[in-house]
Amino acid sequence: MGTPAPTDQVHIASASQTLTIGYQGFGSFHNEDNVEFMASDPGWQPPPNHCQREVCLSGTAFGAPCRYQFLIDFDRWTFLNHGAFGAVLRCAHEEAEAWRRRCENQPLRFLDRELFAQLVRVMGELAAFVGSQRQDLVLLPNATTGLNVVTQSLRGRIGPGDVLFHLDVGYGSVKKMLQVVASQTGARAVQHTVQLPLSSPSQLVGQVATALPEGTRLAVFDAVTSNTGIVLPIQELVQLCHSRGIEVLIDGAHALGMLPLDLRQLGADYFVANCHKWLSGPRGSAMLHVQPKHQRHVHPVIVSHGYGSGFVSALLWDGNRDYAPLLAVSAALRAWQQLGPHAVRQYQRELLRQAVELLTQAWGTGTLVPLHMCGSMALVQLPRHCLPAASLQNLAPAEAHSGRDFAAAPSSATSADAKHVQDALYKLAIECPVKCIDGNLFVRISVHIYNELNDFEKLAAAVSGMCQI
């Protein structure tokens, strides 16, 4: 079938109505109004997934038996850092490649006639997974984009006297976003320093309740803090803020795949999540959920054809780029359906418990927060005397024998010390981040379905070896 002439009319039928769309070239076959229609009409039937790849994970045992489902080189690496950038499932990677090939086979057909409907199909699948309506969710390249969309949309709505509230345990780039918007509008970005240690979620809620300033218009909370691996009580924080008339943005970069989600029940005004982290979708896939009452004032960072035609249209297309990662989220969702989200979380949390017990006993240390405040990540404190050994490995030979007392534990560690330890682990083919919190060093361990307890035995032995140098 050839490309219609500019005067051709294309009739798109649904269970409830028929749209007549004039074809006027790029971006018009599935034009802006039609995208909104596809997303919001419950009678709209999504197209078939033309690039669907087989997912055969039912009954697969967790741990080593499922490592083939990922692309990590497990023969060479002990990989304990899923929380950094995730790790893509093989089926999702292959489905993304298939979409790329389909696009290049006939680019105009794909971009002009197929892409939007396929994206809306994936939006529906993802919405069902997170407890949302399809028309309240849009796909984006990453969580950073979604967070910028929300924070930049505050311009024109806030000004001097207004407060943007966040926690010091939040993600670093989000703090910068709030500072930028504050400087643009005259509002204030106020950071609350969380008092550690925490023994319960209610402690944190109490701290926030006391710290929220008058005039707060927006509060930003992580679902799971990246640096410290703490699962925040976001339901209680949303309720607290709403009781004071404060809008809430949840940075759920780590939430999708780690935590059970029901966005209707949560009720956050804005919720951003990555699909490439714990869900193990392709890199370059994320989502933004916005409550309907706010959608009219949420604007894209990049203005393109769909601007002014509705929430979904304004954000779904930001120009010609690779949309294959978004389309291949389907494969990751099918994998999770076969594995069972509850079973995955059970495995990860039980293995995390075992790993923490192993490491704390081996090193004589503890965790930053109790395990009931963790999901699939935890910070375990390193033994103090491992730091001088790690630092010694990174000194030049002349420095190493200069009379410095490496047997004495330092009074306070630094981020440079954390880097020394992390680099030493890397040289041993152990990928595990090291964090400096209040002058103490911690490893942040991540547990995914490909990990086993012997991964953490290797980590325990490596650190103990550093302590003996």
Distance CA 392, CA 377 (A): 29
Residues 179 and 218 in one domain: yes
Q: Are 238 and 263 in contact (CB under 8 A)?
A: no
Q: Is the dihedral of CA 317, 318, 320, 321 positive or negative?
A: negative
Residue 18 has pLDDT above 70, yes or no: no
* Average pLDDT rounded to a whole number, residues 164-188: 98
H helical segments located in 186-244: 201-211, 234-243
Residues 131 and 278 in one domain: yes
User: Phi first, then psi: what are they for 367, rounded to 5°?
Assistant: -110, 160
**Does the residue 390 lie in any domain?**
yes
**Does the residue 8 lie in any domain?**
no
Q: Which of 291, 314, 337 is the last residue of a domain?
A: 337
What secondary structure letter does DSSP report for 382?
P
Residues 248 and 373 in one domain: no
Per-residue pLDDT tens digits for 122-151:
999 999 999 999 999 999 999 999 999 999
Residues 200 and 279 in one domain: yes
Give the pLDDT confidence score for residue 84 in this predicted structure. Answer: 97
At a CB cut-off of 8 Å and minimum separation 6, what does 275 contact?
Answer: 126, 256, 281, 282, 285, 286, 287, 329, 332
pTM: 0.89
Residues 178 and 266 in one domain: yes
What range defines the domain where residue 249 resides? Answer: 118-337
3-state secondary structure of 367: strand
Residues 392 and 329 in one domain: no
The domain that holds 355 is classified in CATH as 3.90.1150.10
Residues 138 and 216 in one domain: yes
Give the pLDDT confidence score for residue 384 in this predicted structure. Answer: 83
Residues 287 and 406 in one domain: no
Per-residue pLDDT tens digits for 375-415:
999 999 999 887 654 454 443 333 333 222 223 344 589 99
- Into how many domains does the chain fold? 2
At a CB cut-off of 8 Å and minimum separation 6, what does 337 contact?
Answer: none
In angstroms, what is the C-alpha Rg of the chain?
A: 24
Residues 386 and 243 in one domain: no
Distance CA 146, CA 169 (A): 19
What does pLDDT average to over the chain?
89
Per-residue pLDDT tens digits for 261-307:
999 999 999 999 999 999 999 999 999 999 999 999 999 999 999 99
Q: Are 149 and 202 in contact (CB under 8 A)?
A: no
Residue 43 has pLDDT above 60, yes or no: yes
User: Phi first, then psi: what are they for 298, rounded to 5°?
Assistant: -95, 120
